[in-house]
Structure 1
Amino acid sequence: MSHIITQCKSRLHPLRCLAWSGTGVGAPVLRTMYVATVRSIIDYASPVLSCLGDGRLEKIEKVQNQAMRIILNCPKNAMIDAMRMELNLESLKNIREETNLIAALRHVRAGGQKLEKCINDGVLGNKTFWRQGKRGYLKELIEKICKYNLLNCCSPRNNYRKPPPWDDKFVDVTIPPLVKKKCMYSVVDLKKTVENNVSNIDNKRTAHVYCDGSIIEDGKAGCGVLVIDSGKDMNIESEYSYRIADNVSSTQAELCAILCGLREVRNGMGDLCFFVDSQSALESLNSKNPVYEEVVNLCKGLIEELEENGRNTKFRWIPSHIGFINNERADELAKKGTEKENIDMDCITTLKQIKTIIRKIQSEEETPEHSRSRARKSHVVDRLPVEKDGEDDTKVTEALVRLTTQQEEVNKTIKSLAETVASVVKENVEMKKRTLDIY
């Protein structure tokens, strides 16, 4: 702890020398410098610091408070919450929690079976696990997983290892361009175009898979898959409806539909052609940095498995809601999935969404504390521009007086304008009445 604090304080010296020394050294530049040179030490030490108590970690919080005063040129009595809001910085306690959780979940999803077993044993209250000795890091990790309700995210997800960029295989995705905007076409023309494109694909050799996702107003989501396999002698149709995790995006729902479709046809025979009405979902399959990387990687893993078995897999985009019967059937299956009570698929929460969940809960917890601290220090200003670190508060008082006077003048001006508008409206009404009386 003392070594970390010494390293952080030594790196505050160049920050203090540059602060407000001239043009080009404002708060954004100083904030970036602080995050890159000072807070990075604390971020790397987060797993070790998690074993310490909150009392010992307050010393590190004081280092960040000192850095914020230097960056904003504030006195020592400035509100810490206000400085954090001004610089958009989280408390080091919250950052430590988020860093540890994301690192652990990333390790588990990459195949960390031992850590997964420890988490499950700890959550389920396995007494043998807790009697094995002091496990400070695991104990806090399990407590935070339960606190943020992330147990469903603690399971291996990604069996497909993304290859390097020079060896990455592209998925066969075709998005037919439209000469005009979709709204400028008639539904009949679009339907005929789609039917012609689908009929050009040999049904006897290629199974058609229609995928669609659906989200309703209360956040429930589902996906539907329709598989049409036209063999030599018979036409086999299979329908599947799934309820997926709540509060997902439409692109996530479409990608989950593709994933479910790939899982359903992985044990079959022959080539495959997937028809999807979401361009963003299809584009993400070949994106270098997809937003929903985990679901995309799962899809790519299944596509690669199908290709290794000699089954050619294609993806085609078709416009939505044009009356094309098979796509409408997939849409109905997706809507049926949203009506299910139990979630069938809960493995699509990305690490970015987990970060959002953690930060949302943290902000909700900090709001009452922020209100209490503001009530205790009602005389403190959020942004206090003075000459040095808390040496002169006279200018602050003068600035407050000027702001109060200006606010009173603005209120008077607004009041007089409102009275003028009211009198003009009243005169117009009276003039209309006189005109009507004359006629």
Structure 2
Amino acid sequence: MAALRFLSRKGLGASYKVLRTFYVHAIRSLIDYSAICLPNLAPPVRASLEVIQNNALRIILHAPMWTRLVNLRLEGELPSLHGRVTLRATAVVLQLVQRRPELAVSVLLKRLLSRPPDLAPSNDWARGLVAALHRLNTAASICREPDAPCAGYHDPPPWTPPPFRFVFPGEGRVRNCVPALLRQRALARVEALQRWSSTDYYTDGSVTANEAAGAAFVCGNEVVSWRLTPGASVLQTELTAILGALRKIKDNGGTIFIHWVPGHVGLQGNERADQAAKDACSLPNITFHLPDSPRTILAPIVKATWQWTREEHLLLTTEASRSATWYGRATGCVPLPLLPHTPNYVLVRLRRLRLGFHCYDQLANTNPSPCHHCQDQEPSPLHHYILRCPVTHPLRANLNRGFTWTHIDEIDAPSIIANTPLQTLLTTVEKYPPPR
């Protein structure tokens, strides 16, 4: 933690991204390595563990000690360590049970997971860990049998020619090529294949924002598509489309080549496959079931950790917490996007407006310091900066022209932050820093 404080000093100029990356890889990783031992910690010990991340968030976001912690977690995109420990422990159990089932600890965990859930607190490490997994409804997925090969499958002899061959682009890195060049190379490959009277199958997969997944392949006028199990990855959808095409052509004989072609560069067959995969995401029923993968097992836990943080913020908002209400109205609980070309001190000032914490004079009940820009002295320096200070008039430029200076008191200050363009906020705080 001392190294993190040293990096955050003004002279070194470490940005939010650097500080957060250092914390995740150098500090939180130590907790990740020991996560398998931590799910059933006593609440006082767990609270002392949370202090580590709380202090780190204050350093990363340059926030004072009295800033609301749930606001810091949302702004720093770091859920509580309790949720992180649960996620990492589940990942370790999943790897042990499915990859090393012969180990004694794997046998013990699998036996406990197969029993009816006992959610009562336990000091036993294994029972406490299994109880945590049952509360997350992941026990059944972890205990499933590993995927077995198809009936009758056997490894072919090494001298047998492969059933298909992969062809990858060999002219430099794909991400460094412009779309027009990628399209030209792809068309050249397709044209070369057509000279041999080949049958072309175009495959693609798609995943929507709500985790609906689809896969499809196109061959001439034939379009075949499937809706996959929700939560499938993009790689799984693309492999499913290739598998469907291989099953279609396995009885035709001949040599099979699998070519990679760039997407969204104007290849007609590829565009049709892409659209068919997107349409498959909205099919009423799942037509291709995929077994649970580590990603599909861990994804609900990731959602749950963030849901706990959002529910905590919502509870504080309903209890009329000033700071939680401010952050919710000013940001919509959406963290500030990365702005790589913006100076770090400007981002620190902008986050001060977003977090909306009190100045020290307000907490100490002393006479407030005068405004650094207009020398006015008010009980709430931040409200004065946003609502009445003459230098911050651009923040109020979007208000209805019918409002006068006496009516501005009725305007919600965090709503002004939410409705002001980001560039206007950056320009204003860079030239006129808000009160700390």
Q: Normalized against structure 1, the TM-score is what?
A: 0.53
Q: 2:268 aligns with which of 319, 324, 335?
A: 319
For the residues of structure 1 that align with 2:278 and 2:58, how far apart are their CA atoms?
Answer: 54
Aligned partner letter, 1:346 = L
Query: Partner of 1:405 in structure 2?
Result: 384
For the residues of structure 2 that align with 1:202 and 1:222, how far apart are their CA atoms?
Answer: 30
Q: Please state whether the residue corresponding to 2:40 is helix, strand or coil.
A: coil
Q: Give 1:13-162 correspondences, 5 Å limit.
A: 13-15=2-4, 20=9, 22-24=11-13, 29-70=18-59, 74-107=63-96, 110=99, 112=101, 125=115, 135-136=126-127, 138-140=129-131, 142-143=133-134, 145-146=136-137, 151=141, 156=146
Alpha-carbon displacement from aligned partner over 1:348-395 (angstroms, at most 9, x marks no partner): 8573x76654333322232232133353642688365979xx996759
Structure 1 residue 46 displacement after superposition: 0.6
Aligned partner letter, 1:370 = H
Q: 2:238 aligns with which of 245, 248, 254?
A: 254
Alpha-carbon distance change, 112 to 256 in structure 1, aligned in 2, over 3 angstroms: farther
Structure 1 residue 320 displacement after superposition: 2.0
Q: Please state whether the residue corresponding to 1:320 is helix, strand or coil.
A: helix
Aligned partner letter, 2:237 = A
Aligned partner letter, 2:386 = Q
Aligned partner letter, 1:253 = T
Alpha-carbon displacement from aligned partner over 1:229-262 (angstroms, at most 9, x marks no partner): xxxxxxxxx9976442236576653332113344
Alpha-carbon displacement from aligned partner over 1:374-424 (angstroms, at most 9, x marks no partner): 53642688365979xx9967598877723322433359876673589xxxx
Alpha-carbon distance change, 30 to 394 in structure 1, aligned in 2, over 3 angstroms: farther
For the residues of structure 1 that align with 2:94 and 2:368, how far apart are their CA atoms?
Answer: 47
Contact 1:214 1:338 in 2 (8 A): no
For the residues of structure 2 that align with 1:218 and 1:354, how far apart are their CA atoms?
Answer: 16
Q: Please state whether the residue corresponding to 2:285 is helix, strand or coil.
A: coil
Q: 1:373 aligns with which of 316, 324, 332?
A: 316
Q: 1:346 aligns with which of 290, 296, 305?
A: 290
Q: Larger radius of gyration, structure 1 or 2?
A: 1
Aligned partner letter, 2:133 = I
Is residue 244 of structure 1 aligned with residue 228 of structure 2?
yes
Alpha-carbon displacement from aligned partner over 1:68-108 (angstroms, at most 9, x marks no partner): 44555655433111232343322111111221223334455
Contact 1:225 1:260 in 2 (8 A): yes
Q: 1:359 aligns with which of 302, 312, 328?
A: 302
For the residues of structure 1 that align with 2:87 and 2:77, how far apart are their CA atoms?
Answer: 16
Q: 2:167 aligns with which of 172, 181, 185?
A: 172
Contact 2:213 2:280 in 1 (8 A): no
Aligned partner letter, 1:344 = F
Q: Please state whether the residue corresponding to 1:367 is helix, strand or coil.
A: helix
Alpha-carbon distance change, 62 to 385 in structure 1, aligned in 2, over 3 angstroms: same
For the residues of structure 1 that align with 2:367 and 2:110, how far apart are their CA atoms?
Answer: 58
For the residues of structure 1 that align with 2:244 and 2:100, how far apart are their CA atoms?
Answer: 21
For the residues of structure 1 that align with 2:59 and 2:207, how far apart are their CA atoms?
Answer: 48
Aligned partner letter, 1:223 = A
For the residues of structure 1 that align with 2:178 and 2:21, how far apart are their CA atoms?
Answer: 46
Any unmatched runs of 5+ in structure 1? 1-11, 160-169, 229-237, 282-316, 421-439
Alpha-carbon distance change, 344 to 395 in structure 1, aligned in 2, over 3 angstroms: farther
Contact 2:90 2:298 in 1 (8 A): no
- Please state which structure has a larger fraction of its residues in helix: 1
Contact 1:241 1:336 in 2 (8 A): yes
Structure 1 residue 48 displacement after superposition: 0.6
Alpha-carbon displacement from aligned partner over 1:109-128 (angstroms, at most 9, x marks no partner): 6565778887776565469x
Alpha-carbon distance change, 83 to 343 in structure 1, aligned in 2, over 3 angstroms: same
For the residues of structure 2 that align with 1:195 and 1:384, how far apart are their CA atoms?
Answer: 61
Contact 2:227 2:286 in 1 (8 A): yes
Alpha-carbon distance change, 219 to 378 in structure 1, aligned in 2, over 3 angstroms: closer
Identity, in percent, stands at: 19
Alpha-carbon distance change, 270 to 337 in structure 1, aligned in 2, over 3 angstroms: farther
Any unmatched runs of 5+ in structure 2? 150-164, 327-354, 372-378, 405-436
Contact 2:114 2:143 in 1 (8 A): no
Aligned length: 334
Contact 1:209 1:225 in 2 (8 A): yes
Query: Partner of 1:164 in structure 2?
Result: none
Q: More relative contact order in 1 or in 2 (CA 8 Å, sep 6+)?
A: 1
Contact 1:213 1:253 in 2 (8 A): yes
